[in-house]
Amino acid sequence: MANKSIHMSKLRHVLKLYCQGQSKLHISSTTGLSRNTVKKYLHNFTALKTTWEDISKLSDKELDELFNKEPSLAIDERIVTLHEFLKQQEKRLRQRGFTLLRLWESYHSHHPEGFKMTAFYKHYNLWKRRVHPSMHMEHKAGDKMFVDFTGEKLHVVDPDTGELKAVEVFVAILGASQLTYVEAVESQRVDDFISCCENALHYFGGTPNAIVPDNLKSAVVRSNRYEPKLNENFEAFADYYGMVVLPTRSYKPKDKALVEGAVKITYIRIFASLPHKPAESIEELNTRIRSLLETHNRTSFKGRNYSRLQQFEEMEQTHLQPLVEKRFELRSSSVATVMKNGHVCLGADKHYYSVPYAYISKKVKVLFSKSKVEIFYKYERIAEHGRVRSAHNYTTDPTHMATHHQVLAEWNPDFFLNQARSIGKEVEYFIAQVLNKKPHPEQAYKSCQGILSFAKRVGHQRLIKACQRAHAYGLYHFRAIEDILNRGLDVYDLEEDKQLPMPRHDNIRGTNYYQ
């Protein structure tokens, strides 16, 4: 209680009783204050050499200032010297490996007559809180990038409807230098979020050790105090650039205080400064934002003679990791079973990719981006191919195919030829041609299976005639047989088909037109 200020009405009561000649013990019991508190205020009253009449004329504010004035930090010449030193050395605390102990050692070497270690720490904390409360000494150069979306949105003109369309605004800030990046984007979806994070890295010209997102779904699938579950694509993006992901804790605003401050400044220096006329596109809006962003990063900090950009170039730029040559490609995933022909189907393109023969009938995970397809079995990559978007075709690595010395699976060329021979020699010949048309027979197994399945659906005779007709056209694939049977062309003889008259129609010019 001795160091805690009391209400001014109670202080007046204490002073009044003292001036009336009451003892300190009596004043303490009457007012409910401790004796030390009473002694403290009476000591100050005696030191002021004033009277109760003068005190009673003061307002509560004046009385509080008189009795509870905080001691000045600049009462000692050593404190003035210390503050000058701290002002000059504050940047060094953000450098990797530089500690408060090393700062004191530097101070003591320059000012041996100054404060010792304990007093130095005490006055440093006072200076940090009172003189410069906005400092963030805990952020090391090149350590973290904080990212978030603003609560408020901007608007662009929708080119299809002409109406205003709301867009999200992404903000990223480096912890040490506070260099900031701002970008407008269509949504907070994972692909847009990752694109913004990657653009921020390229704006900064390097990557920090860690990226600190809020608990938005594009980054964190399920938040947890000890082990949050990260979005698979976002985790892969961070790993690609050599960063770790450190999600902020739920309901812990101090974890993201830096980026929250950046968002508030974005409202003031960018949102409020944009032209009133909305942009025609996101690209145009981002051009306007970039101009204002450059001004913001080049503006000096309040009370300082350097800007965010200057601070970044001086003490953080060299601590960033270099960027990788190629940009990250967002990957999608699917689960597939390896077919008996040693291929898996990528459903998005209906294209087939080979895997080693040992994985036939196994369930595998397929990860694919714009340019690459990777196939994994129990977290081990077993195949990698360039992505091909042609439907119903095969991409095959010859090393994946079974050799003649290996025991083949149930599906092999002889298996399909024997089945075709049981239907008719025409079908056997057609199946042989289907197998021969592919670089690897395994690529034709699905087509052979589909062709032979028609025998049960339409009968042997129709399939034989369909194979004859397809052979006459030189078409050796499943879709040719399917088209002939669906259109009923197998019921016509080939000779009759050639003699069919041309249908009459007003739009057909006739043979005389060309004479």
What is the CATH number for 19? 1.10.10
Please tell me whether residues 197 and 252 are part of one structural domain.
yes
pTM of the predicted model over 0.85: no
Please tell me whether residues 471 and 349 are part of one structural domain.
no
- Count of domains for the chain: 5
Q: Among residues of the chain, what percentage have pLDDT more than 70?
A: 84
Q: Contact at 8 Å (CB) between 447 and 352? A: no
Residue 139 lies in a domain: no
Please tell me whether residues 269 and 363 are part of one structural domain.
no
Domain at 191, CATH number: 3.30.420.10
Residue with the larger pLDDT of the pair 17 and 288: 288
- For the cut 90, the answer to whether the pLDDT of residue 184 exceeds it is yes
Please tell me whether residues 175 and 315 are part of one structural domain.
yes
Residue 394 lies in a domain: yes
Please tell me whether residues 430 and 466 are part of one structural domain.
yes
Q: Which residues, listed in sequence order, are joined to residue 137 by a DSSP beta bridge?
A: none
Domain range holding 375? 332-400
Residues listed for the chain = 515
Please tell me whether residues 289 and 379 are part of one structural domain.
no
Please tell me whether residues 60 and 191 are part of one structural domain.
no
Q: Contact at 8 Å (CB) between 364 and 377? A: yes
Residue 386 lies in a domain: yes
Tokens 């100054």 locate to 114
Task: Specify the pLDDT at position 119.
Answer: 82
- For the cut 50, the answer to whether the pLDDT of residue 133 exceeds it is no
Task: Specify the pLDDT at position 96.
Answer: 54
As a whole number, mean pLDDT of residues 452-467 equals 89
Residue with the larger pLDDT of the pair 16 and 88: 16
SS3 of 28-86: the string is: HHHHCCCHHHHHHHHHHHHHHCCCHHHHHCCCHHHHHHHHCCCCCCCCCHHHHHHHHHH
User: Secondary structure of the chain: what % helix, strand, coil (to 5)?
Assistant: 45, 15, 35
Please tell me whether residues 265 and 201 are part of one structural domain.
yes
Residue 287 lies in a domain: yes
Residue with the larger pLDDT of the pair 412 and 1: 412
Helix/strand/coil for 269: helix
- For the cut 50, the answer to whether the pLDDT of residue 203 exceeds it is yes
Most confident option among 11-20, 464-473, 499-508: 464-473
Please tell me whether residues 124 and 150 are part of one structural domain.
no
As a whole number, mean pLDDT of residues 43-51 equals 77
Please tell me whether residues 163 and 284 are part of one structural domain.
yes
Taking only the tens place, the pLDDT of each residue in 387-436 is 888 888 888 888 887 654 343 446 778 888 888 999 988 899 998 988 88
Residue with the larger pLDDT of the pair 495 and 102: 102
Q: Which residues, listed in sequence order, are joined to residue 365 by a DSSP beta bridge?
A: 335, 376
Separation CA 298–CA 282 (nearest Å): 24
Taking only the tens place, the pLDDT of each residue in 76-121 is 678 888 877 877 776 666 655 567 787 888 888 888 888 888 888 8
Helix/strand/coil for 468: helix
Task: Specify the pLDDT at position 170.
Answer: 93
As a whole number, mean pLDDT of residues 17-24 equals 84
Tokens 């940047």 locate to 91
Please tell me whether residues 214 and 284 are part of one structural domain.
yes
Separation CA 353–CA 341 (nearest Å): 10
As a whole number, mean pLDDT of residues 430-454 equals 84
Residue 52 lies in a domain: yes
Residue 136 lies in a domain: no
Task: Specify the pLDDT at position 291.
Answer: 92
Residue 101 lies in a domain: yes
As a whole number, mean pLDDT of residues 369-373 equals 84
Please tell me whether residues 37 and 99 are part of one structural domain.
no
- For the cut 70, the answer to whether the pLDDT of residue 513 exceeds it is no
Residue 15 lies in a domain: yes
